[in-house]
Structure 1
């Protein structure tokens, strides 16, 4: 499988993400790792209608980006994300008609779909407040690093809504279990950093002053791995939620056979034979 593509295939199917300049959050690339920074620290980094849509569009575009191999989500300052902005989202929602409300809730769900459809592994680096839609973004990531002082809250019930927001009732139980997810979604209470680690919501805990470096370093390790293989793993993890065991085994047989056609697989074999470390190129 060659990295060289015909121009008619390249057009519209591949693009670089380095030149992107989002208006509603920070974006930069550090050695194949894309870093998204929710950047309204004075308000604990809340989301707006515009930032929801722009995040959705970014993750959709990353499916076509060859210059990003892993993604880190983080918040500026001492917090991750406080959820939807009370004044810029919650207030306007109380004045909308049902069709407009459904347009909004489908848009927020599309952000989760875009994150799950994005082939690159996504790591959320969570400090301080991680609430509402912020907790959903963390949940929708592939991996999560938290701090001991962080607080994760799916607080929809506390504002008179259901806990079933943006896929929470299907995804959260698969991460921490049905009973624990039920408790968080019914009560809206905060989950401490130590609790999140013990329950499996966090993969790791880091110090607040080391969180960014820890997350980017981990993402860089993933970025140095077999990009095509990682993308296939992510796709299978997502698709197999709705499969029986026999169907999943067959799907994985097909997926692994496809991966065996990549140059990265052949590089790994050649490196093993030479007792060297493989250098993956993503093809």
Structure 2
């Protein structure tokens, strides 16, 4: 399997500790915008994580007090004005492929959001499984503010599932900022933490997940995303099959043996 612990990123920060990959964009002086290169490399990295047994969970963190300011105005938006329809579609499909890769990577992703989290940055947070925020987090889906539609990178499909159709409609039509308090009340953010503790809280949560049954986590993530397009009957049958597969893992047996011995199970992901 792919060894991602030794991966050296070119267009963002990447480090791995105890099976937890920490990703941060690295242009704090501009509030960490995305570029053509960072989009493409992030897409490729999350695709590779499917095959990386050495990565158990991912934290997508903030840098310099901000998460991500979206697509870089000079490096992305300006050049897009010179592309033909084929080139534009190639770009929009690439950005959507990042979300697809995050959803299908098989690893729990925790977004640790501080400060600005807008445009494609808000999409990255949305595509994560769990979101922590500081009180200073400012989240906005800005696409209509630059003359585009709110339907970008899966926003119209995913955001309503998290916060509801009405609230998602307001944010996507207006492009206004959602405060951290609103985000927590609406269920976008799982909880608000002190800025000084954001990284530690995210790593602690990721470590808790990494110590769990990783094959089971992969199956949970898979079913959480697949079951939106299933009927209740199909979902129940799919979960029956998924759980039967998990019952053949060694982690299932380890949990039973640990229970009998009154010990904490040491999961290994097989």
**TM-score (normalised: structure 1):** 0.95
- Asked whether the equivalents of residues 139 and 172 of structure 1 are also in contact (C-alpha less than 8 Å), the reply is yes
1:63 is paired with a residue whose SS is helix
What's the counterpart of residue 155 of structure 2? 168
1:104 is paired with a residue whose SS is helix
Runs of 4+ in 1 over 6 A off after TM superposition: none
Match of 2:113 among 119, 126, 129: 126
CA distance in 2, matches of 1:62, 1:188: 32
Structure 2, unmatched stretches of 5+, are none
Q: How far 1:75 sits from its partner (Å)?
A: 2.2
CA distance in 1, matches of 2:191, 2:205: 11
CA distance in 2, matches of 1:75, 1:23: 17
What's the counterpart of residue 7 of structure 2? 20
Deviations 1:31-71 (A, max 9, x none): 11000011100000000000000000000011111111000
Deviations 1:8-27 (A, max 9, x none): xxxxxx11101111110000
Q: Does 1:59 align with 2:40?
A: no
What's the counterpart of residue 96 of structure 1? 83
CA distance in 2, matches of 1:237, 1:110: 19
CA distance in 2, matches of 1:139, 1:185: 13
What's the counterpart of residue 200 of structure 2? 213
2:51 is paired with a residue whose SS is coil
**TM-score (normalised: structure 2):** 0.99
Map residues 1-283 of structure 1 onto 2, 5 A cutoff: 14-283=1-270
CA distance in 2, matches of 1:190, 1:210: 23
Q: How far 1:74 sits from its partner (Å)?
A: 1.1
Q: What's the RMSD between the two structures over aligned residues?
A: 0.5
Aligned residues: 270
